[in-house]
Structure 1
Amino acid sequence: MNTRIDPAALEAAEAAPPSHDASDPTLLARMIEAGILVETGEDGIYGRSAAFEDVLERLSVAVTLLGADQNAEVLRFPPALRRRDFEDSEYLKSFPDLAGTIHAFQGNDADHRRLLAALDATIAAGDGERSDEWMDQQKPTRLVFTPAACYPIYPVIARRGALPEGGATFDVFSYCFRHEPSVDPSRMQMFRMREFVRLGSPGDVMTFREKWIERGSAFVKMLGLPFDIDLANDPFFGRGGKIVANSQREQQLKFELVIPVATPGRPTACLSFNYHMDHFGTLWKIDCANGDVAHSACVAFGMERTTLALFRHHGLDVRAWPDGVRALLWGDTQAAIDAALR
């Protein structure tokens, strides 16, 4: 698949009206009313019902089978990252507004008394404006929340030494955190991300990304969901970030598979296909077997977002979903995936 896009064609495509149907701004309210999501009082933080989790877990099984031929090493980490690795990752240079650090009480008895006094005053405010004075007793720990599922693996791989001949592929899955509270249910603050990550030569990782653009598109078609593949950029922070974002688009480093979910006129990125060039290889000193700096690419599945898209387009009663979708998720998933790959 050729992922190079003619700039003039791209401009025309971006100026054209969306080819898919409108999003559903009532989706969150309907899912909460049906008990599929559980409101917590905090935007972007929701409980998940058995029905929601069942769909998500079945999606994850299908993604596993979709990538079974990648011979990927499976790595699972908790949703926390060593602060030192986070500092070295340069995430704060690009996304300081999204990062979440982990704090904890580390004081003595006197500090504890001050904390409790401040907490009593906070609670006494009732429904009024609450003070955060008690948090003065909370100090940074050695951990931060994981911002993307792949972030823990780069320092681990770097400590192993050079990659094996032919590079390496990894299957990672984790809860992630990004501080962007929103009433859009597809923009959760804590969410799960499934990734296949490829490290190796530039040719290898570009072939990997092109294959996954095709494969991800075929998978979403099997799910019966409308989608587009768009050239995209990450939400880099500040005025300087606009320059970086423009460069990312000009080099066509990031594509997204977008599906209308909840926000009218703005479809949601449910899969992303990213070419990092040698950024992580240089940052973490990861080399190929021949001594060249490793390039990397990844495909990331937004698990909650894709689950929401299924409920949005097929309805809140999974028993009434289209036969093909039910066959994929609740039937012989292996056979359905094999047929798609053929």
Structure 2
Amino acid sequence: MSVIDSALTTAGPAVAAAGTGGLGLPVLSPPETALLRRLDGVFEGWGTQAGAQSMIMPPLLPVASLARLDFYDNFPHQAVVAAALDLSKGRPGADGPPAEFAGAALEPARLALPSAACFAVYLSMEGARLAQDTTVTVLGRCFRREEHYEQLRRLLGFHMREVVALGSREFVTGHLARFEGHVAAFLTALGLPFTKEAATDPFYDRGGQRALLQRLSPVKHEFVVDGLAIASLNVHRNFFGERCDIRHGDAAEPVFTGCAAFGLERWLSVLHRRFGDWGTALAAVEAAAAGGAAGAR
């Protein structure tokens, strides 16, 4: 075992996340990394076995594109943007390395760090005419500005695996029902007590007709373990199909969309809490996957 393996193997999530001063940017040890990759393989496998195509999305998205999806109206508290330095206004830190740059030293922020992986999927398909119902799976690096950060439970930067369905209402409904079964069976095989809870996800104007529909028929359900949402099933109806003009062939109606989403670091947190160490947690995941509950590759 190398020095770094020895030093990091015993580090729990509190130690790992504290490495960046509580900024919500954890360093994952080799055992944590192995567990995250195995979990991601399980979740991706559920998608690919159902016909999903694996894709890689860009790490940044245009602010203007997210604005067209009402992101800054509905999620302003989560927004994180990126801007280049404007060195014509001087070089901060002449008296030492800078800890931050003032707004005056930045160029206009035209790029955003996405808060969810599925946004890039819909934007990449803008104007598409799909020949058939379509499923895509992506692993995204996502970012959310929070009031506070807590170990691996609540982070500024984290990994999110999503499996996204685009097509008819019935196709999306079936997709989410299938993933509900996958998640419930996997959590049961792991011995993790869980609840499935309705949640609010304001993709829509809270005062509009879509908001009323959301209250009457919840569009987001979360799987909660130890008070922490670790997976969600999301119904977007035809919102993204409308905004991104994604349609079935020459059909007049925009596609419906929905996604199953997994916050991987949150899974690490609940597994470490349940099993006590990373090796035991990984063995439990392997056993659950091999037993068929996960449908893993």
Query: In structure 1, what is the equivalent of residue 187 of structure 2?
Result: 220
Query: In structure 2, what is the equivalent of residue 200 of structure 1?
Result: 167
Query: In structure 2, what is the equivalent of residue 19 of structure 1?
Result: none
Query: In structure 2, what is the equivalent of residue 171 of structure 1?
Result: 137
Query: In structure 1, what is the equivalent of residue 267 of structure 2?
Result: 306
- Superposition deviation, residue 243 in structure 1: 10
Kept in 2, the 8 Å contact 1:232–1:249? The answer is no
| 2:108 is equivalent to residue 148 of structure 1 | no
Which string of whole-angstrom CA distances, capped at 9 and with x for unpartnered residues, describes residues 182-225 of structure 1?
A: 24231101111100100111111111111211111112222321
Query: In structure 2, what is the equivalent of residue 76 of structure 1?
Result: 56
- Superposition deviation, residue 106 in structure 1: 2.9
Cα distance change, pair 246–270 in 1 and its aligned pair in 2 (3 A): farther
Corresponding residue to 1:93 among 69, 73, 76: 73
- Superposition deviation, residue 144 in structure 1: 0.9
How many angstroms apart in 2 are the aligned matches of 1:146 and 1:321?
Answer: 29
Corresponding residue to 1:269 among 229, 234, 240: 229
- Superposition deviation, residue 66 in structure 1: 2.3
Show the 5 A alignment for 1:284-303: 284-289=244-249, 291=251, 292-303=253-264
| 2:20 is equivalent to residue 44 of structure 1 | no
Query: In structure 2, what is the equivalent of residue 21 of structure 1?
Result: none
Which string of whole-angstrom CA distances, capped at 9 and with x for unpartnered residues, describes residues 143-202 of structure 1?
A: 11011101111122124x21113x111001111011104242311011111001001111
Q: Secondary structure at the match of 2:108?
A: strand
Query: In structure 1, what is the equivalent of residue 7 of structure 2?
Result: none
Which string of whole-angstrom CA distances, capped at 9 and with x for unpartnered residues, describes residues 87-115 of structure 1?
A: 2221011011111110111343xx22xx3
Q: Secondary structure at the match of 1:158?
A: coil
Q: Secondary structure at the match of 1:77?
A: coil
How many angstroms apart in 2 are the aligned matches of 1:322 and 1:91?
Answer: 36
Query: In structure 1, what is the equivalent of residue 107 of structure 2?
Result: 139
Q: Secondary structure at the match of 1:248?
A: helix
TM-score by length of 1: 0.74
Q: Secondary structure at the match of 1:39?
A: helix
TM-score by length of 2: 0.84
State the aligned residue count: 284
Which string of whole-angstrom CA distances, capped at 9 and with x for unpartnered residues, describes residues 17-75 of structure 1?
A: xxxxxxxxxxxx95334xx4442113322211111111100101111222232211211
Q: Secondary structure at the match of 1:293?
A: coil
Kept in 2, the 8 Å contact 1:96–1:237? The answer is no
| 2:196 is equivalent to residue 229 of structure 1 | yes
- Superposition deviation, residue 273 in structure 1: 0.3
Amino acid of the structure 2 residue aligned with 1:57: R
How many angstroms apart in 2 are the aligned matches of 1:249 and 1:219?
Answer: 29
| 2:208 is equivalent to residue 253 of structure 1 | no
How many angstroms apart in 1 are the aligned matches of 2:239 and 2:147?
Answer: 29
Kept in 2, the 8 Å contact 1:173–1:194? The answer is yes
How many angstroms apart in 1 are the aligned matches of 2:293 and 2:270?
Answer: 23
Kept in 1, the 8 Å contact 2:60–2:114? The answer is yes
The alignment's C-alpha RMSD in Å is 3.0
Amino acid of the structure 1 residue aligned with 2:13: M
How many angstroms apart in 2 are the aligned matches of 1:324 and 1:63?
Answer: 15
| 2:297 is equivalent to residue 336 of structure 1 | no
- Identity %, equivalent residues: 28
Q: Secondary structure at the match of 2:229?
A: strand
Q: Secondary structure at the match of 2:77?
A: coil
Which string of whole-angstrom CA distances, capped at 9 and with x for unpartnered residues, describes residues 254-279 of structure 1?
A: 1110111xxxxxx1110000110010
- Superposition deviation, residue 297 in structure 1: 0.6
How many angstroms apart in 2 are the aligned matches of 1:259 and 1:204?
Answer: 28
Q: Secondary structure at the match of 1:212?
A: helix
Kept in 2, the 8 Å contact 1:56–1:304? The answer is yes
Structure 1: gaps of 5 or more residues: 1-28, 125-129, 261-266
Kept in 2, the 8 Å contact 1:44–1:181? The answer is no
How many angstroms apart in 1 are the aligned matches of 2:71 and 2:80?
Answer: 11
Kept in 1, the 8 Å contact 2:158–2:264? The answer is yes
| 2:157 is equivalent to residue 157 of structure 1 | no
